[in-house]
Structure 1
Amino acid sequence: MGELANCPNCGALFVKGARSVCDQCYKEEEAAFEKVYSYIRKKENRRATLSEVAEATGVEERLIMKFVKERRLHTSQFPNLAYDCERCGNPIQEGKICGNCRDELQRDLAREEAAESIKEQQGKDKSRTYFNVDQKFRRH
């Protein structure tokens, strides 16, 4: 069963479950989706950019980006519907970050793991060090 939540769009109280917005906002989003989809389905509009679609349909760019992120609008069919990478701002068509940022984060992570591995190995080496106490220097 869902939990009670406030709609992020209008603030109305609703039971959060499969949808992240209230019924009224969901209906409005569906109407906006139909408007956007019918616009970009036309052959002459398939290469429209995000801002061009927003201007022509009156639907907010934020909502169109939501449709793309939810994969309701496939960028393979509409190649100019791109949105910004959350890290650097370059235009992307899927995911949250671009390929360059992803590669950079993977390199940084690999570097961090290598540094941790070296520290761990150094700690193990120190624990293997044995000291021999010469008998003549021992106190009785």
Structure 2
Amino acid sequence: MDLFNCQNCNSLFVKTKFRDVCDACYKEEEAKFDEVYAYIRKKSNRTALMMQVVEATGVEEDLIIKFVKTGKLRISQFPNLGIPCEKCGTNIQSGRLCSKCSDSLRSELQTFEDEEKCLTKIQERNKKNTYYIKDNHEG
């Protein structure tokens, strides 16, 4: 049994795989989810942008993003409710990074790996070229 402080109200609760807030805050989140879902289910609101949903429902953007990340809201049904890229903030449909940031990170990692390989080769070469001389003069 794992006791945690609720990230919303700081009260103690038993954290489960499915809940990261206490029962009272969970019920409040569920009510807010129902409000958001009712708003975006209307045909005229299905293409609403995140800020429009926030303004219309009064639900915080972070909570709506949580609904998307946990799969409660499917972006496939509501295409303009993307989540921000964790590096640049661009609206994305899934994951943590947009393709541009992901490609940039891959490139940086490849450069780092290439530099590491080069450094290893230089160190191996230097070991082969090191000569030791035995000193016969004991003095």
With the length of structure 1 as denominator, give the TM-score of the two structures: 0.88
Tell me the alpha carbon deviations over residues 43-82 of structure 1, each in whole angstroms, 9 at most, x when there is no partner: 1111001111111112111110111111211111111102
**In structure 2, distance between residues paired with 1:130 and 1:88:** 48
The DSSP-based 3-state class of the residue aligned with 1:101 is helix
Q: What whole-Å deviation, never above 9, does each CA across 1:88-119 have from its counterpart, x for those lacking one?
A: 12222222221100100000000000000000
Letter in 2 for 1:14: F
Runs of 4+ in structure 1 deviating by more than 3 angstroms, as ranges, are 130-133
Q: Give the number of aligned pairs.
A: 135
What's 2:24 paired with? 24
Counterpart-to-counterpart distance in 2, 1:58 and 1:122: 60
Report what 1:8 is aligned to.
Answer: 7
Q: Does 1:121 align with 2:103?
A: no
Over the residues paired in the alignment, what is the CA RMSD in angstroms? 1.7
Q: Distance in 2 between matches of 1:68 and 1:101?
A: 20
Task: Tell me the CA shift for residue 130 of structure 1.
Answer: 5.5
Hey, what does 2:98 align to over in structure 1?
A: 98
Give the drift of 1:131: 3.8
SS in 2 for 1:117: helix
AA partner of residue 20 (structure 1): D
How much has 1:132 moved relative to structure 2? Answer: 8.5
- Provide structure 1 residue ranges, at least 5 long, that are not aligned to the other structure: none
Cα separation, 2, equivalents of 1:9 and 1:131: 66
Q: CA deviation at 1:25?
A: 0.4
With the length of structure 2 as denominator, give the TM-score of the two structures.
Answer: 0.88
